[in-house]
Structure 1
Amino acid sequence: MRAAVYGAGALGTVLGAALTRSGADVELVSRDQEHVDALNRSGARITGLREWTVPVKACTPQQMSGRYDVILLLTKQMANTAALPRLAEHLAPDGIVCALQNGIPEPELAAALGADRVAGGVVTWNAVRIGAGQARLSPPESSLHFKIGSLPGTDPRRLDPVKALLERFCPAEPVEDLLGLRWSKLLINAALSCPASILGGKCGAVLEDARWRRIALYLLRECIAVGHAAGVKFEPVQGYDYPAELAFSTLREEQQVLAKMPELFARNAPAVPSMLLDLQKKRPCEIGALNGFVCRTGLERGVPTPFNDTAVRLVREIAAGEKTFSPEHAVEFAALLPE
């Protein structure tokens, strides 16, 4: 089986190194020529939870050749439209693309490639690129896990080669409801990654600040309401049924939920959101595919999303250089919060 990791950033570099180390025939694909050159010259240097230097094969999208049986897609979702012609050209006739991205990318991929040639999954671990050819895999060990799923109406056996490939690194658990899985991961990104990117810190900074923890709860609440209006049944992730854990109807119940949020999201606390890294480096970020998607779907379903609307506006103002990172942006949400 020939495979490609398309989008060899932090996660893709770690995954590509792990798969290569296991003996898989895999190429790491990146638009960053310096990164590709470093990978080919010195191998993938992985630090943190693993200490590896792995000789790998790497190329740019323009240098891809032949066909791949499995393409693991790890670009930012906003890059998918541009990547689709390359994916279509190099995917084997019976091959499959598995999107290991944030947001809900599968509908666009399926429209271009065919539903039976598309799968999706959630990555529960985190990594940071620390230089050309280098990435740091973040602890804990227990986070090393994938959840994967196929699209409705497709043969679930199409997932078998994806599962076999991913499990060369860590467990890959198939789920029946890929959309429910996607929305559950979207909850975490919308409520932690986005506000952490606004205040300019790790996800844990949101949980430690009482103002931002409450804002995060209302971001979560809107996301759950929009998902339910869209017919979504949220899948458990990270060991929790988040809609059930986060439900409240009185201010007293709200206080109880707020008190347990640090435990519910402890796994996410050390993470530095990729959205924040993109904003810091003046690169386009995924706000439109995350909180922006919640807002658009809420508009379609008649569910108001004032907290997510405000979060999207703030991120876009930071991206435009009109605002700076600050926890004091919490005041922008004050009028929305019940007393």
Structure 2
Amino acid sequence: FDLVVVAVKSYDTQEAIKRMLPFMNDDTWVVSPQNSINEVRIAPIVGANRTVGCITTISAGIYKPAHITRTGSVSQSLQKEPICFKVGELHGEITSRVEKIVDLFSSAGKTVPTKDLWGERWSKMVTNCMVNATAAMTGMMSHEVRANKISRMQILNLAIETIKVGRALGYNVVPPMGDFSLDDMEEAAGPNGHTELDRVLSGEPPAVPGRPSMAQDVIKGRATEIEYLNGMVSDKGTEMGIKTPYSNAVVEVLKAVESGEFDVGMDNLDRVDSIVRASA
């Protein structure tokens, strides 16, 4: 194959790539539009020269085989000019193959090249870590997670931790809420709140509401990517000496939901809050 698009869960990435190796040429392009940061798992197997990154902000639901519904995306709802895909090389150059992939993906939505794959990857991690686990543990739709005052406090704290960890690692991590800064987010998560940011987050629902992938996994009884999202933030935070109490607590509660110890429901927000308070 000239082009391989890796569309499996993060935990299946390495096995899927190994199975595809016999079907690759020396100049096959291996593109990852996945959640998390799987280029670091793909490149050691196929080579950095064959690996291309792709950040996607579109959302979709699939509850029956071959029945896919394009839904509203939290990422896009917080952007002034929504972009569906950003394609980039590991080394940051805009190459001819990046331009070709941009052209191919543009049929599915606005696609642009990026010179900062790693910064874009961590910026996407912020949205994933905010919304995915919170929706999965509560049963809320994506827009409900940001509109509900209690869950909004949780997603803000998760976003703050992810930004701090990504920046500590040296990446240009951009908050997902338009022109709002990390300071604005910390103010919004504090006792006095941030009126304008709260207004943006609690805005109108999308025309076609949807759930993030992790919430769909829980509904289907599948393993989630929690270790590759909030779990990764926790691990990297530990390495960098940055406290990530909300990320740690969300991983603990979501794993209990996966195992059947906890049911999906709003009371899981209270469980996260209790774990955070106990760790203070």
TM-score tier (shorter)? 0.7 to 0.9
Question: 1:91-112 CA deviation, whole Å, 9 max, x = no partner?
Answer: 2211211100001100111111
For 2:91 and 2:210, locate their aligned partners in 1 and report how far apart those are by CA, in whole Å.
32
Q: 2:230 aligns with which of 275, 291, 300?
A: 291
Query: SS of the residue aligned with 1:259?
Result: helix
Residues 182-217 of structure 1: CA deviation (Å, up to 9, x unaligned): 111111111111111111121222223211111111
2:132 is matched with which residue?
193
Once the two structures are TM-superposed, the CA of residue 292 in structure 1 deviates from its matched residue by 0.6
Match of 1:87 among 3, 10, 20: 20
- 182, 186, 194: which is aligned to 2:121? 182
Counterpart Cα distance in 2 of 1:250 and 1:277:
27
Structure 1 segments of 4+ aligned residues over 6 angstroms from their partners: 264-269
Contact preservation (8 Å) 1:127, 1:136: yes
What TM-score, normalized to structure 2?
0.85
Bigger drift between 245-254 and 68-77 goes to 245-254
Structure exhibiting the larger radius of gyration computed from Cα positions = 1
In 2 relative to 1, CA 289–320 (structure 1 residues): closer, same or farther, beyond 3 Å? same
CA gap 1:243/1:325 in 2 versus in 1, 3 angstroms: same
- Which piece of structure 1 moves more, 87-96 or 152-161? 152-161
Q: Cα gap change, 1:139/1:309 in structure 2, threshold over 3 Å: closer, same or farther?
A: closer
- CA deviation map 1:228-281 (0-9, x unaligned): 111111257685566465353994664346514516896699330211111122
Equivalent in 138, 141, 144 of residue 202 of structure 1: 141
Which AA in structure 2 matches 1:71?
V
- Is residue 2:250 matched to residue 1:330? no
Candidates 140, 148, 159, aligned match of 1:220: 159
Match of 2:49 in 1: 116
Q: Which amino acid aligns with 2:109?
A: C
Q: Does 1:138 align with 2:71?
A: yes
Q: 1:52-91 alignment to 2 at 5 Å?
A: 68-91=1-24
TM-score by length of 1: 0.71
Task: Report the CA distance shift for 1:89/1:264 in structure 2 as closer, same or farther (over 3 A).
Answer: farther
Deviation at 1:159, TM superposition (A): 1.4
Which range moves more in the overlay, 328-337 or 128-137? Answer: 328-337
Between 1 and 2, higher relative CO (CA 8 Å, sep ≥ 6) is seen in 2
Point out the structure with the larger strand share.
Answer: 1
CA positional deviation for 1:295:
0.5
Q: Decide whether aligned partners of structure 1 residues 187 and 73 sit closer, same or farther in structure 2, where only a CA change above 3 A counts.
A: same
Whole-Å Cα distance in 2 between the matches of residues 157 and 95 of structure 1?
A: 14
Identity %: 26
Change (3 A) 1:276 1:249: closer
Cα distance change of structure 1 residues 79 and 257 upon mapping to structure 2, 3 Å threshold = farther
Pick which of 207-216 and 159-168 moved more. Answer: 159-168
**Aligned length, in residue pairs:** 270
Tell me the secondary structure at the aligned position of residue 98 of structure 1: strand
State how far apart, in whole Å, the 2-side matches of 1:194 and 1:120 are: 23
Match of 1:128 in 2: 61
**Residue equivalent to 1:276:** 215
Secondary structure of the 1:74 match is coil
Change (3 A) 1:262 1:77: same
- Measure how far apart 1:218 and its partner are: 0.8
Are the equivalent residues in 2 in contact too, given 1:213–1:258 (CA < 8 A)?
Answer: no
SS in 2 for 1:136: strand
Counterpart residue identity of residue 86, structure 1:
R
Name the structure 2 match of 1:7. Answer: none
Aligned to 1:96: 29
Match of 1:313 among 221, 227, 252: 252
Q: Compared with structure 1, are the counterparts of its residues 269 and 258 closer, same or farther at alpha carbon in structure 2 (3 Å cutoff)?
A: farther
Q: Deviations over 1:35-88 (max 9, x none)?
A: xxxxxxxxxxxxxxxxxxxxxxxxxxxxxxxxx111111111111111121232
Where does the alignment leave 5 or more consecutive residues of structure 1 unmatched? 1-67
Deviations 1:140-196 (A, max 9, x none): 897562111110266733313322221233321011111111111111111111111
CA RMSD of aligned residues (A): 2.8
